[in-house]
């Protein structure tokens, strides 16, 4: 995979919700750790499910993944970050300034704006802390869906400019004297993000027009702030060989190929990888290792977990005149569809479970 070859210190995975960026970020972290690298996996998504993918509780703390030597995970909790941020701003002035002034500062720091800035503050600390850079070979960021990520990555430059020009409202950030101390950190964050030797952005999309268009918009907006070292991963493509098995698979393959052929111009110049749809759910360590592996090299444990369903019945149109036949067969049909939807997968299976939609 080109996006993982000669990876720099920082790797950012972003894309439209549901395209598989968390799975790819986690699989990348595991792959790099399996090579003997020291990896920090960070989620900046307020609705993070990194812990669910690994099957362990992570939270707002550096958590070693016991089954993967060298891999540490962290989920930035915006609320916990806001509490720590408020304590850092207000703590030093308690008992020094009049209580009315302290209360006024606390009120300024009680809004949603402060929560966002506090999470951003932790994010920039990860980008600029020399101790972290020395402790890890790679820091992998699993970010929130695209809009949140663009805002997060634009903030270092925006607040750096604010501190230089003195424009805007700082009421949700705390006293300006405290902000001045962040000037160097924000400037260093901007430099890290715009340095292709240190930062790589991985745009994740499906072979669908909507997700490819959003990836193109993200590419253009982040290029404007200097984040130009970008890669594209098209995730979950149905293997072309499946088209030979039935008409549904052939239609899906044709639709995906058409979407890729009409890919926005902004994406065509990027390094592009494709990750094929896998016949297992991407939860657990073996599944993560299998996600980036060639089909022939997929872990046996991951493949063994694939459920096999009996073939769906073919009901002749004429049979709908027979109510008893119709209800008995359709009930079986829809019960199997319900099972598939409940497991968040659409399963088209034969005796060899040829493919699964995840």
Percentage of the chain beyond pLDDT 90 is 40
Q: Is residue 341 part of a domain?
A: no
Domain of 170, CATH number, reads 3.40.50.300
In the chain, the number of structural domains is 1
pTM of the model: 0.75
Residue 342 belongs to some domain of the structure: no
Q: What is the pLDDT of residues 121-144, one digit of tens each?
A: 888 889 999 999 999 999 999 986
Q: 127 in a domain, yes or no? A: yes
Mean pLDDT lowest for which of 1-10, 153-162, 232-241?
Answer: 153-162
Residue 176 lies in a domain: yes
pLDDT at 285: 92
Q: Which of 18-32, 206-220, 265-279, 331-345 has the lowest mean pLDDT?
A: 331-345
Q: What is the pLDDT of residues 8-31, one digit of tens each?
A: 999 999 888 889 999 999 999 999
Q: Is 133 inside a domain boundary? A: yes
Neighbours of 320 (CB within 10 A): 12
**To which residue do tokens 């900046």 refer?**
44
Q: Do the domain assignments include residue 319?
A: no
Residue 50 domain-assigned? Answer: yes
d(CA 105, CA 109): 6
The distance from CA 31 to its chain's CA centroid, rounded to whole angstroms, is 16
Nearest of 347, 15, 332, 284 to residue 148 by alpha carbon = 15
Question: How high is the pLDDT of residue 302?
Answer: 52
Q: What is the DSSP-derived secondary structure letter of residue 241?
A: G
- Summarised one tens digit per residue, pLDDT across range 295-316 is 645 555 555 554 444 555 555 5
Indicate whether 237 pLDDT > 80: yes
How confident is the model over 249-262, as a mean pLDDT?
Answer: 96
By residue range, what is the domain housing residue 197?
Answer: 2-277
Predicted local confidence at residue 210, as pLDDT: 93
Q: CA 255 → CA 165, 206, 209, distances in Å?
A: 50, 12, 10
Q: Which residues pair with 234 in a beta bridge?
A: 205, 274
- Is 311 part of any domain? no
Average pLDDT over residues 337-353: 38
Percent of the chain, pLDDT > 70? 71
């Amino acid at each position: 995979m080109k996006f993982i070859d000669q990876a720099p210190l920082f790797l950012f995975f972003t894309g439209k919700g549901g395209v598989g960026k968390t799975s790819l970020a986690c699989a990348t972290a595991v792959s790099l750790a399996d090579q003997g690298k020291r990896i920090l996996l960070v989620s900046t998504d307020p609705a993070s499910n990194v812990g669910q993918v690994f099957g362990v509780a992570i939270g707002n703390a550096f958590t070693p993944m016991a089954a993967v030597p060298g891999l540490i995970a962290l989920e930035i909790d915006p609320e916990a970050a806001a509490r720590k941020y408020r304590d850092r701003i207000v703590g030093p002035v308690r008992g020094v300034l009049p209580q009315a002034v302290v209360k006024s500062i606390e009120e300024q720091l009680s809004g949603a704006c402060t929560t966002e800035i506090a999470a951003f503050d932790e994010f920039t600390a990860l980008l600029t802390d020399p101790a972290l850079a020395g402790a890890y070979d790679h820091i992998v960021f699993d970010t929130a869906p695209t809009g949140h990520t663009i805002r997060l990555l634009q903030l270092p430059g925006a607040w750096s400019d604010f501190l230089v020009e003195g424009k805007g409202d700082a009421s949700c950030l705390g006293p300006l004297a405290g902000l001045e101390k962040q000037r160097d950190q924000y400037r260093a964050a901007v430099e890290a993000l715009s340095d292709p030797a240190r930062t790589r952005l991985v745009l994740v999309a499906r072979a669908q027009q909507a997700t490819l268009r959003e990836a193109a918009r993200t590419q253009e907006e982040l290029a404007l702030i200097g984040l130009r070292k970008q890669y594209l991963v098209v995730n979950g493509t149905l293997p072309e060989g499946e088209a030979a098995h039935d008409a549904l698979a052939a239609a899906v393959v044709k639709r995906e190929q058409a979407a890729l052929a009409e890919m926005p111009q902004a994406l065509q110049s990027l390094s592009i990888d494709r990750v094929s749809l896998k016949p297992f759910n991407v939860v657990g360590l073996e599944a993560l290792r299998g996600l980036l592996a060639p089909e022939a090299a997929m872990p046996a444990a991951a493949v063994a977990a694939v459920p096999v369903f009996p073939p769906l019945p073919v009901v002749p149109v004429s049979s709908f005149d027979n109510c008893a036949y119709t209800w008995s067969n359709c009930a079986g049909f829809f019960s199997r569809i319900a099972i598939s939807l409940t497991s968040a997968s659409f399963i088209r299976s034969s005796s060899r479970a040829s493919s699964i939609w995840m």
